[in-house]
Amino acid sequence: MALGWVFLLHAWTTIAGASQTIFRAPSSYDDGLFTPLEDMNVLSTSEFTVLSHPVFPQYNVRIKKSPFCDSTVKSYTGYIDIEARHIFFYFFESRSNPDEDDMIFWTNGGPGCSSSLGLFMELGPCRVLDANGTKFHPESWNNNANIFFVDQPIGVGFSYADHGETVSTTEEGAKDIAAFMFVFFQHFSKFKGRPLHMTGESYGGRYVPVYAAEVYDQNAKLAAAGYAPINLKSVMIGNGITDFFNQMSSVFDMQCTSASIEPTSSIGDCVMMKRMIPRCQKRLKESCVDMFDAVDCAAAASFCSTYLREPYRKSQLNPYDISKPCDDDLLKESLCYPVTAHIREYLSRPTVRDTLGVDPSVPANFTSCANDVGSAFRTHLDGYIAPTQEYVAGLLERGIQVLIYVGTYDWTCNWVGNSRWTLALEWSGAEAFRAAELRPWAIANDLENNGQAGLVRSAKGLTFLTIDKAGHMVPYDKPKESLELVQRWLSGQEF
């Protein structure tokens, strides 16, 4: 992208549709010379500072200090402004050593679910577990890392668009995230060169490999232009959907065998499901894998969902934790977790939104998951149109390490399917990975579980790991084990 001339600007202004005062940071561009903001301490708690860079002239980053949630660390919120589209983010510095610790990018899935669920329910520095607001979370992943939580794509959480603009494919969203990472690191050089770990959950199994690949490919172009590349170190995916073909039939194993608990479905339903698996796989392979045909692929996906996924609802069990009950009303109301209602209430409070700098155009009642965003992605068959696992293979071939971690009680993106696709993955390390032993990994002095936290298989940069008795949201169910796994991963320790 050609560099444009932008003159030194130091003025008060406002972004369309926003009532907050905006301070535009001084920047100078002279034949490619860029003056970064550098010091996050100069950011205001009452106004946004706008960051920009000539490489991405259509992108701005609005950022402010937002002291809330955890008084032991510095926290920031803001928007990634892409012309008329605006993506909200949180950023928390590390509790340990923010000037040296690694960087983590986190996104929830859906598609269409806000990363506030990851922040306030799972791995963030505070949790909202009841109507009393935030509580300090000792097992937060920012104990040893600086973390972004991003509400993406447009229309999710506090993100918004000026004129109804939408994003309905993962590849579109990837460009926004990669540009944001570059602009942020260019302005705050103390973070430049730090290892970056792209991390996500559920549909994040589709998002994260594509986003990481965009960051990697963007690096080559930036390096050619003389810019320091982003130090992409690894990808971490929790209970993800990555390879739809190899994961689809695994729901049979979860409800009709003792893969995690005793079978939950009737013998009749299991017989029917087993007979449908070959037909499902045949139709998916012909219409979605060997040659993508939108109409036929949609029909095949619908067929597989009807015969392989819908029978589970008869059990009235939580699809995110097969050990717990959840009726249809609770699933629709709160994703089977009443805590999500407390998060919605907290993020609907005017005082909280004012502290965070939420744009006034965002609806007053917070929504954890945006149904219209999910519908748009499904309409475009985003989860089927591209072989996401091949992005994983491409990253591995280029030295980017990949961790696939899975709670054994999750049904919807379960450990059987994730094990299956990692073993089926075609890449240069495949033979070594398949030959690697699936062995226990343990946490020292864990008397409750006799030290065993799950199973692990690892070779050539790819690691598959289970967390015993955790559901879809591993950090929520097993905060101690999840913190242990992320600390080992960041430090390069073996499991």
What CA–CA distance (Å, rounded) separates 153 from 159? 8
CA dist 479 and 135 (Å) reads 15
Q: How far apart are CA 363 and CA 174, in angstroms?
A: 25
Which of the residues 101, 253, 321, 410 is marked catalytic? 410
The CA distances from residue 317 to 25, 253, 282, 334, 340, in Å, are 52, 16, 29, 14, 18
Measured between alpha carbons, how far is residue 231 from residues 51, 226, 234, 276 in Å?
Answer: 21, 15, 9, 45
472 is an active site residue: yes
- Which one from 27, 114, 202, 249 is the annotated catalytic residue? 202
Annotation marks residue 44 as catalytic: no
Of 335, 306, 301, nearest in space to 318 by CA: 335
For residue 154, give Cα distances in angstroms to 233, 246, 328, 374.
26, 30, 28, 11
Distance CA 280, CA 301 (A): 8
Orientation of helix 204-224 relative to helix 388-397, angle to 10°:
40
The continuous run of DSSP H or E covering 214 comes out as helix 204-224
Tell me if residue 410 is catalytic: yes
Q: What whole-number distance in Å separates Cα of residue 428 and Cα of residue 424?
A: 12
**How far is residue 6's CA from residue 63's CA, in Å, rounded to a whole number?**
20
Alpha-helix runs per DSSP H in 96-169: 116-117
DSSP state of 134: -
| Distance (Å, whole) CA 37 – CA 251 | 50
- Asked whether the beta carbons of 3 and 21 are under 8 A apart, the reply is no
Distance of CA 169 to CAs 207, 253, 293, 385, 392, Å?
Answer: 9, 30, 17, 10, 18
Which is the catalytic residue, given 86, 137, 197, 472? Answer: 472
H helices present in 225-287, as ranges: 244-248, 250-256, 267-284
Catalytic residue numbers? 202, 410, 472
